[in-house]
């Protein structure tokens, strides 16, 4: 195809080649009528992109999310118009609020048919605008390359986030000049073009830290996103500061490190770890929004505690707590600047005794956990499951946990012995059904690691169709179900907050092992805790998808590390 001496390709081919130019090697999606030209371009071009066909657009987006988290690359998901766009939106919203760059491409009805009531017509731009960092409708083919570049630039720079592109049917058939197809290579990974802190703010922050007697660091997800784990470890060791994490911040410092306190807050924290935060005379938030879960509804640390806040997003800083010193910067660059400033200062502080406080808090925390983890009771206690998993899993495993039963127990009590991304949970919006598909995306992104999906049986019902995807691609993910026939998180809230007035939270028992087996997944059902270790070993060592259905204690009867229920 040529126009006035220029080589031309179709809009659909241009989209494929723009993705290729941005280093995309995997994408996750579901076919539809409006996607036919795009799929044809994927078929006929030599592009090196593996397209993973899913059974639901929601789960395609969740796969792209976890893929991005474990690779540091932009995740790409695609789906058709109408219902496909509405289904893909939850995954984009979760990724965006979690600072994970996921590009959602939704094909659309032709521009020329808008307003004529074509089937699946929907204002995709208006739908996606509030819940993505960048959003655009490609109304003419000549704008396509520039809009794709804009989307990748926005997703990967500053605070990373999700983007959406609507690709109408007729635009997919229009011509695009071959010379316009190019990419800025830095935008294939995140964070791209990270910003360093103001040197004066670095000096002020270090002076304030060195003047404290009992400082504590609270780390969110940005240290892992920015690959700042080594810089954090160096800073914590040099000053012997206790380092707590949010759920998303796990892996910023290995849990086995003597300065790592572990997760704090209302989901995974316990009274012993909360006391360390409350006793601090200075709290250093790093890439942490200080939201309701981390701070137990803004009670820990108490308002009035001196705060230093480091974040790439200035809107986060001082949103909740008055801030003495702010460092608007990438987490890794800020920590490296603090380490350099400490070198230049020539000061060699004796340390703040953080490791000793961490050791005392952990001793209390795990002595209480250990009693329950050794229980031979049936139904099986969640603590026993976590303990057996810890014995079986390699240190480089990746565990993806749904909200509900899995998240607080794994966050609170599973020690992650290697720094980096080894635990994933959808903490922004907490939708059930995330874990199963996200684990598949993580397995695609990190094929050399053992990947587990851990869910409650409520989440199982949201996502069961994706077992077919797991078997079709023979993904060696192990799926674990806490089976207790209840939406346990809600029932636990009804128990503690509404005088046990239970309403519409219980459902029928399902034989999850039989359901998974019907899809071709090798499955076990475990009722006796004595069988757990053997079955988990067999399941995690199998070379294809496996499922373990664990008949477990209902969450409302358990002693979960969730502060509102303990109180």
SS3 sequence, 206-236?
Answer: HHHHHCCCCEEEEECCHHHHCCCHHHHHHHH
pLDDT tens per residue, range 511-562: 999 999 999 999 999 999 999 999 999 999 999 999 999 999 998 999 999 9
pLDDT of residue 95: 98
Sheet holding 175-177, edge to edge: 2-3, 6-10, 175-177
The pair phi, psi for residue 21, each rounded to 5°, is: -65, -30
The answer to whether 308 and 331 are in contact (CB under 8 A) is no
Mean pLDDT of 155-167: 97
Residue located via tokens 């071009």:
45
- Which tokens in the block code for residue 559? 């002693």
pLDDT tens per residue, range 174-228: 999 999 999 999 999 999 999 999 999 999 999 999 999 999 999 999 999 999 9
pLDDT tens per residue, range 385-438: 999 999 999 999 999 999 888 999 999 999 999 999 999 999 999 899 999 999
β-strand 307-311 against 282-286: which pairing, if any? parallel
pLDDT tens per residue, range 450-498: 999 999 999 999 999 999 999 999 999 999 999 999 999 999 999 999 9
pLDDT tens per residue, range 269-296: 999 999 999 999 999 999 999 999 999 9
* For helices 331-345 and 229-239, angle between their N-to-C axes, nearest 10 degrees: 40
pLDDT band of 3, cuts 50, 70, 90: low
Arithmetic mean of pLDDT over the chain: 95
Distance CA 143, CA 181 (A): 11
Cis check for the bond before 266: say yes or no (omega within 30 of 0): no
The pair phi, psi for residue 117, each rounded to 5°, is: 60, 50
Nearest Cα residue to 64 out of 416, 434, 508: 434
Distance CA 466, CA 313 (A): 35
The answer to whether 263 and 221 are in contact (CB under 8 A) is no
* For helices 434-445 and 57-71, angle between their N-to-C axes, nearest 10 degrees: 40
pLDDT of residue 380: 97
Residue located via tokens 């979960």:
560
pLDDT of residue 1: 64
- Which tokens in the block code for residue 220? 């969110």
Residue 350 has pLDDT above 90, yes or no: no
The answer to whether 274 and 280 are in contact (CB under 8 A) is no
Mean pLDDT of 130-140: 97
pLDDT band of 305, cuts 50, 70, 90: very high
Name 123's Cβ contacts closer than 8 Å, sequence gap at least 6.
none
- Which tokens in the block code for residue 470? 């797991």
DSSP output for 444-510: HH-TTS-EEEEEEHHHHHHHGGGHHHHHHTT--PEEEEEE-SB-HHHHHHHHHHTTT---S-B----
Kindly report whether the global pTM for this prediction surpasses the value 0.85: yes
pLDDT of residue 171: 97
Cis check for the bond before 191: say yes or no (omega within 30 of 0): yes
196 DSSP 8-state letter: P
Distance CA 466, CA 66 (A): 15
Residue 5 has pLDDT above 80, yes or no: no
- Which tokens in the block code for residue 445? 């992104």
pLDDT of residue 4: 66
Residue 151 has pLDDT above 70, yes or no: yes
Mean pLDDT of 163-175: 97
The answer to whether 471 and 547 are in contact (CB under 8 A) is no
β-strand 175-177 against 6-10: which pairing, if any? antiparallel
74 DSSP 8-state letter: P
Sheet holding 50-53, edge to edge: 50-53, 26-29, 75-79, 102-108, 163-168, 134-137
Cα end-to-end span (Å), the chain: 70
Locate the DSSP E strands across 75-170. 75-79, 102-108, 134-137, 163-168
* All structural domains of the chain: 2-188 (3.40.50.970), 199-357 (3.40.50.1220), 374-566 (3.40.50.970)
Mean pLDDT of 35-54: 98
Burial class of residue 394 (count of CB atoms within 10 Å of its CB; 0-12, 13-18, 19+): exposed
* For helices 354-373 and 406-413, angle between their N-to-C axes, nearest 10 degrees: 130
The total of other beta-carbon atoms located within 10 Å of residue 2's CB is: 10
pLDDT tens per residue, range 250-268: 999 999 999 999 999 999 9
pLDDT of residue 116: 86
Percent composition of the chain: helix, strand, coil (DSSP 3-state, to 5): 45, 20, 40
- What is the SS3 assignment for 33? helix
C-alpha of 39 from chain center: 29
Percent of the chain at pLDDT > 70 equals 99
Residue 346 has pLDDT above 70, yes or no: yes
**Residue 3 φ/ψ region, left for φ over 0, alpha for ψ in the -120 to 50 degree band, beta for the rest:** beta
Residue 18 has pLDDT above 70, yes or no: yes
pLDDT of residue 72: 98
């Amino acid at each position: 195809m040529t126009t006035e001496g220029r080589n031309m390709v179709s809009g659909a081919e241009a989209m494929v080649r723009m993705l290729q130019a941005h280093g995309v090697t995997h994408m996750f999606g579901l076919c539809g009528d409006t996607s036919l030209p795009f799929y044809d371009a994927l078929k006929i071009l030599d592009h090196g992109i593996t397209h993973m066909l899913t059974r639901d657009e929601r789960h395609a987006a969740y796969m792209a999310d976890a893929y991005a988290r474990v690779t540091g690359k932009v995740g790409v998901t695609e789906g058709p118009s109408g219902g496909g766009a509405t289904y893909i939106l939850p995954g984009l919203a979760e990724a965006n609020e979690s600072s994970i760059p996921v590009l959602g491409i939704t094909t659309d009805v032709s521009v020329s048919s808008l307003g004529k009531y074509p089937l699946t017509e929907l204002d995709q731009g208006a739908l996606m605008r509030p819940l993505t960092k960048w959003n655009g409708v490609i109304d003419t083919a000549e704008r396509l390359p520039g809009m794709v570049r804009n989307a990748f630039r926005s997703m990967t720079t500053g605070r990373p986030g999700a983007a959406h592109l609507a690709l109408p049917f007729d635009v997919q058939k229009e011509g695009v000049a071959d010379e316009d197809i190019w990419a800025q290579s830095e935008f294939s990974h995140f964070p791209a073009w990270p910003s360093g802190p103001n040197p004066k703010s670095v000096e002020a922050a270090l002076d304030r830290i060195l003047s404290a007697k009992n400082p504590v660091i609270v780390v969110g997800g940005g240290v892992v996103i920015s690959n700042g784990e080594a810089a954090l470890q160096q800073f914590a060791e040099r000053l012997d500061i206790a380092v707590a994490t949010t759920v998303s911040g796990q892996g910023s410092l290995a849990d086995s490190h003597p300065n790592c306190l572990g997760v704090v807050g209302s989901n995974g924290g316990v009274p012993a770890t909360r006391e360390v935060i409350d006793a601090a005379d200075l709290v250093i938030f790093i890439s942490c929004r200080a939201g309701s879960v981390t701070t137990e509804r803004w009670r820990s640390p108490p308002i009035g505690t001196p705060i230093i806040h480091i974040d790439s997003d200035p809107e986060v800083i001082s949103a909740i707590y008055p801030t003495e010193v702010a460092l608007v910067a990438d987490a890794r660059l800020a920590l490296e600047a603090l380490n350099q400033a400490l070198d230049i200062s020539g000061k060699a502080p004796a340390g703040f005794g953080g490791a000793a406080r961490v050791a005392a808090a952990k001793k209390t925390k795990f002595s209480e956990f250990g009693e329950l983890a050794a229980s031979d009771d049936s139904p099986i206690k969640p603590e026993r499951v976590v303990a057996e998993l810890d014995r079986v899993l390699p240190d480089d495993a990746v565990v993806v946990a749904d909200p509900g039963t899995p998240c607080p127990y794994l966050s609170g009590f599973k020690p992650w012995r290697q720094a980096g991304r080894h635990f994933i949970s959808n903490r922004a919006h907490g939708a059930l059904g995330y874990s199963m598909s996200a684990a598949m995306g993580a397995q695609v992104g990190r094929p050399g690691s053992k990947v587990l999906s851990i869910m409650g049986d409520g989440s199982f019902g949201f996502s069961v169709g994706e077992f077919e995807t797991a078997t079709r691609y023979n993904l060696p993910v192990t799926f674990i179900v806490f089976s207790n026939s209840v939406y346990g998180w809600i029932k636990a809230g009804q128990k503690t907050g509404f005088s046990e007035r239970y309403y519409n939270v219980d459902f029928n028992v399902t034989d999850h092992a039989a359901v998974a087996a019907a899809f071709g997944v090798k499955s076990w059902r475990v009722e006796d805790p004595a069988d757990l270790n053997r079955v988990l070993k067999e399941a995690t060592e199998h070379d294809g998808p496996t499922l373990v259905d664990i008949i477990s204690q209902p969450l409302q009867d358990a002693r979960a590390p969730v502060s509102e229920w303990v109180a």
